[in-house]
Amino acid sequence: MKHTAEEITLKNGAKGLLIHVADATVMNVYINFRAGEYLVPREKWETPHLMEHILLGANDEYPRARDFQAEVEKNGAYSNASTDVYDIVYELECADFEWERVTRLLRTAIDKPLFLQEEFDAEFGNVREELAARANNHYRQLGASSRKAYGLVSETDKERLALMDNVTLDDVREHYRRTHTTDNMRFVIAGNITPSRKQKISDILEEIQLPRGERFIMPDEVVRTLKKPVCIPNETVDTLYFYIDTFMNRRLEEHELDALSLVNALLTETLYSKILGTARERGLVYGMNSGFQQVKLSSNLWFGSQVSVANAPALFDIITEQLGNLFRGELAEADIAAAQAYAIGRYQRSAQTVASTAGGYTGRYFFDEYIDDYYAVPERIRAVTKQDIIDATRAMFTDGIGGLGVYGSVNPKLANELNEQIAVLWQQGV
């Protein structure tokens, strides 16, 4: 969707982006605080999550959570919140005609929560059920275990369940007091933001009844290579889930990010891609994913899938072969052109709603206040060269930090054998 993005700084220290989408019929509001689990002791891990569940509940104007939610949703509006290791995001989506009313309600929820004991008790049970359900997601359990093994801040859902009883309502109140300040607040608002609405948005957010504070810095997580694979046997699972991770001890530059987006397209994102396409032709695996992400001090490239035990060695051979081809520059210009066309099309499809347009900004902006130039992305992708792809791929393996995580029908012997298959990647990448 055609749009413009403008950053504003409020008098109270809060900052954010206003994404103007002319003639939009909805408005999306995202309010962020660095208030995630990294800011609490391990034994109090679930404090931010419980706080997030309670906050969009009873407040000074609506003393019952159900009454507040009924007021938010009466004209079809939607509200939600989410917590991760680093931050909490409160969000709403509403029809254009009532954006002001609903935004004021969200502000009220954030700055005037009651934190009632009865709501804490109820949401404690709801969070327990949420974590219990997530604990059956094998990818989540493997991902969290692997992240922890690499030295990143993480707990599995099963571990989180065991830690819940340590959290009290007073812990929630204290975490709110510490983290919910205007200097720690960032926002992204997308919709038909006319000049008059821009002023109203500023007024609403400047009236928020929160103190000044600090914008918390991200944790200095130092990744380490695995001495042995992360191996989580589960006899009830017939297949094998795996993640192959490699890390670089610095953040990626923008041209490297563009190059790695093509690496994903080349290797796993289509049925004709080098890894997934080859594996599918041989009947080895149904699907496969790859991606890259960054924390404060490092960058990560990963590959993951679910595969039968019998097919795993053959799939790992394909992974090492195709990555080795990239290291050596064995890549046709026609393949690069196809990946570029796919990546550009995928990027343009990703912003077909107001919510998805806003989502193109929230991740980077909330993490490091980076504002991507949306309309420059296609040209940047077209500018990626064969050598850029080679260099970016090799760079991710140069530091020798990475390894294998497996979950399901696996034992340490098999995990070690699969790990030996992929160990060559870090040798070839140097």
**Mean pLDDT, rounded, for 191-205:** 96
Going by pLDDT thresholds of 50, 70 and 90, the confidence category of residue 430 is low
**Mean pLDDT, rounded, for 377-393:** 96
Q: How many CB atoms lie within 10 A of CB 332?
A: 9
**Mean pLDDT, rounded, for 8-22:** 97
Q: Pick from 24, 29, 28: which is nearest to 107 by CA?
A: 29
Q: Pick from 175, 211, 14, 194: which is nearest to 83 by CA?
A: 175
Paired residues of 80 in beta bridges: 91
* HEC sequence for the chain: CCCEEEEEECCCCCEEEEEECCCCCEEEEEEEECCCHHHCCHHHCCHHHHHHHHHCCCECCCCCHHHHHHHHHCCCCEEEEEECCCCEEEEEEEEHHHHHHHHHHHHHHHHCECCCHHHHHHHHHHHHHHHHHHCCCHHHHHHHHHHHHCCCCCCCHHHHHHHHHHCCHHHHHHHHHHHCCCCCEEEEEEECCCHHHHHHHHHHHHCCCCCCCCCCCCCCCCCCCCCCCEEEECCCCCCEEEEEEEEECCCCCHHHHHHHHHHHHHHCCCCCCHHHHHHHHCCCCCCCEEEEEECCCCEEEEEEEEECCCCHHHHHHHHHHHHHHHHCCCCCHHHHHHHHHHHHHHHHHCCCCHHHHHHHHHHHHHHHCCCCCHHHHHHHHHHCCHHHHHHHHHHHHHCCEEEEEEEECCCHHHHHHHHHHHCHHHHHCC
Question: At residue 175, does pLDDT exceed 80?
Answer: yes
Cα→Cα distances 334→338, 414, 425, Å: 6, 38, 25
Structural domains of the chain, with CATH: 4-206 (3.30.830.10), 230-428 (3.30.830.10)
Residue 350 is predicted with a pLDDT of: 86
Model confidence pLDDT, tens digit, residues 345-375: 999 888 899 999 999 999 999 999 999 999 9
Residue 1 is predicted with a pLDDT of: 83
Residue 6 is predicted with a pLDDT of: 97
Give this prediction's pTM: 0.94
Residue 369 is predicted with a pLDDT of: 95
**What does pLDDT average to over the chain?**
96
Question: At residue 428, does pLDDT exceed 90?
Answer: no
Q: Are 365 and 186 a contacting pair, CB within 8 Å?
A: yes
Question: At residue 308, does pLDDT exceed 80?
Answer: yes
Question: At residue 429, does pLDDT exceed 80?
Answer: no
